[in-house]
């Protein structure tokens, strides 16, 4: 992977930076600025070195045409605050406004382009269409810096094709993400604990398969836990279950017994009468989940307090921890305790004075720690990757990294 040591090489040059500013929005309001703050370092460093910086990103999933709800315009002032300098905005990507504003950039100035996915060429499966869009983007600049780790698993114009057209480099965020992921895969300090949650076990099968023989402990929570419990013969009430994955789960349980990671499952569950913040709820041992208050058919929305305590103990005793996926519906306070206990345990001993590495694997986990009041610097690393992080830990080839060779 090609990197740069001295940002001064970009002085007086126009640099296209592929960032990942795909932040969660609620009716036009940013609910988690994490990806903006993570992207700011590279952009600020390049601008301070005298580069003329053009930032490009996507937001959401527009269908290849302009859609006001996915405009990057509201992100320009947020990015400006994060890098402590003005950020101009172009209401297109390769049209007249972008071309004019890019040409007018002075040294140290920053321009943010409109949502890349407003152009169908960005995500096209047709190589020619995608490459044509990449060529138009490349005309705006002298160099390309790839710094959006959250999209390096995508074969897209601004991630993959453009690297063949310009001198290209990995940005500091991508470099940091790769270094942390390599450490998790190849040189974790034991005990190594992997904590997986979220709604579907199918989303985590590749990670389980690749890490079950590398990790010491595999803690399971979230909705995916009920597929494990069902595989062991437990009644799970109305809880989420992927019946088509039960055989896969049984295979992992067998591999664990045969010398793989110790798979640790909850011993109790917080059950609820419905999927609602104010739902009636109760705690049951996993062997008695079907035992519910009269007239209810419960569903599990969090690991129970006993399980949360056990998980926290295992995590606190581990020197390397990777966590991806909340333990419950953390957005509802009544069902956030399990996720909060895991987050708190990851912060223990995670500072500059120790070699302990705790990694929050992006996506919902990153949103959860901020929602629950934790600061980013309380953890060893908060990934911006989400799906990209998971695919890296599955040992898959990521197109956006392959293009930087």
Both 252 and 276 in one domain: the answer is yes
Q: Tell me the pTM.
A: 0.92
Residues 112 and 232 in one domain: no
Q: Are residues 247 and 273 in the same domain?
A: yes
User: Binding residue per annotation — 35?
Assistant: yes
Q: Binding site annotation covers 222?
A: no
* pLDDT for residue 350: 47
Do 335 and 281 form a contact (C-beta atoms < 8 A)?
yes
Instruction: State yes or no: 13 annotated in a binding site.
Output: no
Contact criterion met (CB below 8 Å) for 295 and 337: no
- 75 marked as part of a ligand binding site: no
**Residue 181 is assigned to a structural domain of this protein:** no
In this structure, are residues 148 and 177 in contact, taking their beta carbons and an 8 Å threshold? no
405 falls within a domain: no
Query: Which of 119, 144, 176 is the C-terminal boundary of a domain?
Result: 176
Summarize pLDDT for 31-61 with one digit per residue, the tens: 889 999 999 999 999 999 999 999 999 999 9
Total of domains in the chain? 2
Are residue 294 and residue 345 in the same domain, yes or no?
A: yes
Question: 168-206: b or e for each residue (b if 16 or more CB lie within 10 Å)?
Answer: bbbbbbbbbbbebbebbbeebeebbbbbbbbbbbebbbe
Report phi then psi at 195, rounded to 5: -115, 120
221 has binding-site annotation: no
In a shared domain, residues 128 and 257:
no
| Range of the structural domain that residue 11 is part of | 7-176
Look at residues 176, 208, 243 and tell me which one is the last residue of a structural domain: 176
What the block records as the tokens of 9 is 């090489």
Per-residue pLDDT tens digits for 106-126 = 999 999 999 999 999 999 999
In a domain, 401, yes or no: no
380 in active site:
no
Backbone angles phi and psi of 207, in degrees to 5: -70, -45
Give yes or no: 197 in active site: no
For residue 2, is it within any domain? no
Same domain, 162 and 246: no
Are 140 and 219 in a shared domain? no
Residues 6 or more apart whose Cβ sits within 8 Å of residue 397: none
Domain-embedded: residue 155: yes
Task: Provide the pLDDT for residue 352.
Answer: 45
Please pick, among 34, 150, 325, 363, the residue that the annotation labels catalytic. 363
Choose the catalytic residue: 35, 101, 155, 284: 35
Q: Domain boundary at 176, 204, 230, which?
A: 176
Flag whether 119 is marked binding: no
The answer to whether position 404 is within a domain reads no
Do 89 and 202 fall within a single domain?
no
| Residue of 13, 200, 356, 370 with catalytic role | 200
**Count of CB atoms situated within 10 Å of the CB of 144:** 26
Q: Does residue 204 sit in the same domain as residue 159? A: no
182 within a domain of the structure (yes/no): no
Residue 133 falls within a domain, yes or no? yes
Q: Do 55 and 111 meet the contact criterion of CB atoms below 8 Å apart?
A: yes
Q: Is residue 370 a known part of a binding site?
A: no
Confidence (pLDDT) at 348? 66
Catalytic: 34? no
Residue 198 CB partners (closer than 8 Å, separation 6+): 204, 222, 223, 224, 324, 325, 326, 364
Same domain, 226 and 349: yes
CATH number, domain at 127?
A: 3.40.50.1260
Query: Are 239 and 339 in a shared domain?
Result: yes
Q: Is 154 annotated as a binding residue?
A: yes
The tens place of each residue's pLDDT in the chain, 405 residues long, gives 999 999 999 999 999 999 999 998 888 889 889 999 999 999 999 999 999 999 999 999 999 999 999 999 999 999 999 999 999 999 999 999 999 999 999 999 999 999 999 999 999 999 999 999 999 999 999 999 999 999 999 999 999 999 999 999 999 999 999 999 999 999 999 999 999 999 999 999 999 999 999 999 999 999 999 999 999 999 998 898 999 999 999 999 999 999 999 999 999 999 999 999 999 999 999 999 987 776 677 999 999 999 999 999 999 999 999 999 999 999 999 999 999 999 999 996 544 455 799 999 977 899 899 999 999 999 999 999 888 999 999 999 999 999 999
How far is the C-alpha of 88 from the C-alpha of 53, rounded, in Å? Answer: 10
Q: Please indicate, yes or no, whether residues 30 and 76 belong to a single structural domain of this protein.
A: yes
In sequence order, the 6+-apart residues with CB closer than 8 A to the CB of 46 are 7, 10, 15, 17, 53, 145
The string of DSSP letters for 221-252 reads -STTHHHHHHHTT---TT----GGGHHHHHHH
Helices (H), 63-168: 75-83, 96-104, 127-138
DSSP conformation class of 106: P
Q: Is 259 annotated as a binding residue?
A: no
């Amino acid at each position: 992977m090609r990197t740069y040591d001295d940002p001064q090489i970009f002085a007086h040059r126009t640099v296209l930076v592929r960032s990942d500013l795909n932040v969660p929005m609620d009716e036009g309001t940013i609910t988690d600025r994490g990806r903006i703050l993570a992207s700011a370092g590279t952009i600020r460093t390049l601008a301070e070195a005298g580069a003329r910086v053009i930032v490009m990103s996507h937001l959401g999933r527009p269908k290849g045409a302009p859609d006001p709800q996915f405009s990057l315009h509201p992100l320009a002032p947020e990015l400006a605050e994060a890098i402590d300098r003005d950020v101009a905005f172009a209401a297109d990507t390769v049209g007249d406004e972008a071309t004019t504003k890019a040409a007018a950039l002075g040294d140290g100035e920053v321009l943010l382009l409109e949502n890349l996915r407003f152009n169908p060429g960005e995500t096209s499966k047709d190589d020619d269409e995608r490459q044509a869009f990449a060529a138009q983007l490349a005309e705006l600049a002298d160099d390309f810096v790839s710094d959006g780790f959250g999209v390096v698993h995508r074969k897209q114009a601004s991630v993959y094709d453009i690297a063949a057209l310009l001198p290209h480099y990995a940005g500091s965020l991508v470099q940091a993400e790769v270094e942390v992921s390599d450490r998790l895969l190849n040189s974790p300090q034991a005990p190594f604990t992997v904590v997986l949650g979220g709604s579907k076990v199918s989303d985590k099968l590749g990670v389980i398969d690749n890490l079950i023989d590398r990790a010491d402990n595999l803690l399971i929570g979230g909705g995916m836990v009920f597929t494990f419990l069902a595989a062991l013969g437990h009644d799970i009430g109305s809880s989420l279950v992927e019946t088509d994955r039960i055989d896969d789960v049984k295979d992992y349980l067998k591999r664990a017994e045969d010398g793989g990671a110790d798979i640790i499952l909850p011993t109790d569950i917080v059950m609820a009468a419905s999927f609602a913040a104010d739902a009636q709820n109760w705690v049951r041992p996993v062997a008695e989940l079907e035992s519910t208050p009269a007239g209810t058919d419960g569903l599990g929305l969090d690991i129970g307090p006993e399980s949360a305590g056990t998980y926290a103990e295992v995590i606190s005793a581990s020197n390397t921890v990777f966590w991806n996926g909340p333990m419950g519906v953390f957005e509802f306070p009544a069902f956030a305790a399990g996720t909060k206990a895991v987050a708190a345990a990851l912060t223990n001993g995670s500072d500059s004075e120790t070699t302990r590495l705790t990694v929050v694997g992006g996506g919902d986990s990153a949103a959860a720690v901020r929602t629950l009041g934790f600061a980013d610097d309380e953890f060893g690393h908060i990934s911006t990757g989400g799906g990209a992080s998971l695919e890296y830990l599955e040992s898959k080839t990521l197109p956006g990294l392959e293009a930087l060779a």
